[in-house]
Structures are given as structure tokens and as C-alpha cells.
Amino acid sequence: MNISVIGTGYVGLVTGTCFAEMGNSVICVDIDAKKVEDLKNGIIPIYEPGLEKMVHENHERGTLDFTTDIKEALAKTDICFIAVGTPMGEDGSADLQYVLAVAKSIGENMTHHMYVIDKSTVPVGTAEKVRATIQKALDARGSDLTFDVISNPEFLKEGAAIADFMKPDRVVIGADNEKAFEVMRELYAPFTHSHERFITMDIKSAEMTKYAANAMLATKISFMNEIANICERVGADVNKVRHGIGSDSRIGYSFIYPGCGYGGSCFPKDVQALAKTAKDYGYTPRILDAVEAVNYDQKKVISDKVIKRFGEDLTGKTFAVWGLAFKPGTDDMREASAITIINELTKRGAKIKAYDPKAEHEAKMHYLKDNPNVEYVKSKYDALTDAEAMILVTEWKEFRSPDFDEIKLRLNHPIIFDGRNQYNRKRLEENGFEYYEIGVA
């Protein structure tokens, strides 16, 4: 099938590349000429395991191309995915300006019937706005061309996006006619050998499904962090509580690990956008508001522990931070807990020596660029030298079984603040460490 994907960010690039991998002819469109040129040369703007190789191979094969010319792309394709960003506005709502700008451009440039698919995470009712925007542009041209608008939300996990796309748990399609469902069923047939994984519904329900899924997962995280905070105060061990409740098949172990808060491009934005939608329709989403409030406070739990141990004035003290990305397997630092922790410590006079295997560039160029008190090092052990304590923020695999003798040797004091509850408290304390974790008194 002939497919265009507008937007070469995380969702757009993974979507276009995976469709190309299955033999479709795909053209990815972006307004950033340098990014397009880089992509043609095999340079991708994000870190996602396996993606760079797949982009290069499909470009060489001729199944994947990149352009800045949307008119050219639309002329050659029948299916067009909108995969541009929907950043969070100041009031928590999703900003649709880029989605609607693409819709306008589609209406101005399409030359035949198009299936226009919302792949970006968008609020309920966006498809109607996309439809109206395209129709307005067609009317301005005096054109009687027809089109369908379809909702196909993505459910990709950063760090495992290719596997998620190639072997999806489910493919959700929202449409208003059977022909549109047939086209999408054919498109996704190589990915969904089980018909149970291809789920059809009305458009608004499909739009809502994405937000509901992310809000549920975020709720589990905040709930467990709230339990962790209660455990600390009553003298219980949240790690044991987690095992106790996770063994219940109705609950399970997924997303009930205590930590220093969730981040990334999805959970924070989607929880707030769904809450804003609810309020716009006259409903107060008390659970969603609580989920976000708990997460906001949770990002300060580790820095609060450091401050409690070392005092409010951290002038002259250096701390090692292991991990900057919001989670392992990605270089994404959007809403990352590391940002809050580092800023809370440095504004009290501390210096930070930070190490992350993938996110250093993002920190330097964007999220911590205005913080002069952060030094970036090339290995986890380099970060420890002359530091008062080590702070684990992101649970990268290389941090799971470190050399604790080396840690003890390099630190000024054998102190670990563990924001992800990765280590064995008993073993560390027997070896002379002070160990602080989440949810344990």
C-alpha cells in the first residue's frame, strides 16, 4: 500500500519505518529540511533500539523515503497518517495547532480520495476538527474530492517501540464506515494475525481509548507511590507490599513499582489533557487530578531525602546522579524526574556529576542547559569520584549489578539514594552503606 506519514518525530518515524518493513511504499514528510536530509543519510533524531538500522535498510531498499514536499507525498499515496506533536498547553490541554495545520495542508494539496488517519495522541473530538479543516480547504479550492478521517491511536513504549508495532497487543481503529475499516484491516493484516487484536469502534471511543489507557497506567504508578509514602510513615516495607498485592491476578505486577515519579512524553501530558477535557465538559476528574498531584510531589521525594540527610545548605557538596532519561531504553528527558531532583539540589548550592548512557546530549542541549552546576561524565564510576553520595534515578541495565566496592572506594561517604528501589538493603547495610530507598522507613 502507498502511505504518507506527516511528522518524523518518535511516533511518525517508527510508524513509517515499520510499515515500510512490511513492504509498503512509505513517504515520511517533515518541514525540517535538515532532519529530512539527515534521515536520508541514515541519521535519526531519536534513540530507539533497532530503529536506525531499520530506517537505513528500508531507505536503501526504496520502501522508505523522506521529503519536505507534502504535495508530492500526497500525490503518490492514498493513506496519510498525521503524526505531528501535540504539546501540552499552559492550561494542560493538548495543543492541536500542528495537527490542524497538517489537515489544512492536506485539504489544499490532495488530488484524489484520501484516508486521513490521526496517529497523534489527540483529545476526543479532534477527528471532527480535522474533518472540518480539510473540508474548508477543499471548499476554498472549489473541489468536490472526498476523504475519510480515521482514528488509530498508538500504544508504543519508548525503548520497545519496534516490537510494540510489529507485534501489537491490539490495534484500535475508529471510523464511521465499513470501507474505512476494510482499508485499515488490510493495512494491519501483517501485524495482526489474530483478529482479536484488531479492534474497531466509533471515532470518539478510539480517541478516548488512548487517554484512558495511559491514565490507567499512570494511576497505578501514583497509587503505588502513595502506598510507598504511607509505608515509610507506618514502618512497612513497600517492596514486600508490592509482592503481596502483585500476586493477586486481578492486580498483577505491571506498573506497581514504587519510584521517584513518572515522566516522558505521554503520561504527564495525557493525564492532564484528559483532566482538562473532563473539566471542559463540566466534570471534575478527582482521580486524575490526584494522580497528577501525587506524581508532582513524588519527583521531590529523593531530593527531600538528600536534603534531610545533608541539610538545606548543600554548598560545597557534590552528588553523583546515575540516569537522566525518564526511563531506560530511551534518550527522552521530557518530564524526567532527574530534572526535578537535580534542580532541587543545585538551587541549594550542590554540584552534580551526572552519567546517562543515552540522554547526555538531551540534558546538555535542552533540559538542563541553563544549569551550570551539572558536569557530565563518561562512565557511572567517574560520576562517583569526590561525591558525597550516589543517587540512582533511571534503572538502566548497567546500573543493576554495579561493583559496590568500587562505589564505596570512590564516594566520600558510602551513601546511596535509590529512586527506583533496585538494590538489596540488607546486603548494602552489612557492607557499611547508608541506603535510602522509596517506601521503606
77 CB-near residues (< 8 Å, 6+ apart): 2, 3, 4, 25, 27
The residue annotated as part of the active site, out of 28, 231, 260, 266, is 266
Residue 378: C-alpha distances to residues 195, 354, 355 (Å): 48, 9, 7
Q: Which amino acid is at 207?
A: E
Confidence class for position 137, pLDDT limits 50, 70, 90? very high
Quick: pLDDT tens for 250-292. 999 999 999 999 999 999 999 999 999 999 999 999 999 999 9
Quick: pLDDT tens for 318-332. 999 999 999 999 999
Mean pLDDT across the chain, nearest whole number?
Answer: 97
Confidence class for position 79, pLDDT limits 50, 70, 90? very high
Residue 204 pLDDT greater than 90, yes or no: yes
Confidence class for position 102, pLDDT limits 50, 70, 90? very high
Residue 81 pLDDT greater than 90, yes or no: yes
CB atoms within 10 A of CB 114: 22
- Calpha distance 362→324 (Å, rounded): 9
Four-point Cα dihedral 394, 398, 400, 404, nearest 10: -110
Measured at the CA of 287, the angle between CA 285 and CA 288, to 5 degrees, comes to 65
Query: In the Cβ-directed half-sphere of 45, how many Cα atoms lie within 13 Å?
Result: 18
Among candidate residues 308, 306, 307, 278, the one with its CA nearest the CA of residue 292? 278
User: What's phi and psi for 84, nearest 5 deg?
Assistant: -90, 170
- Calpha distance 439→418 (Å, rounded): 11
6 touches 71 (CB < 8 A): no
Quick: pLDDT tens for 155-169. 999 999 999 999 999
161 touches 14 (CB < 8 A): yes
266 is catalytic: yes
Residue 80 pLDDT greater than 90, yes or no: yes
The strand pairing partners of 200, in sequence order, are: 173
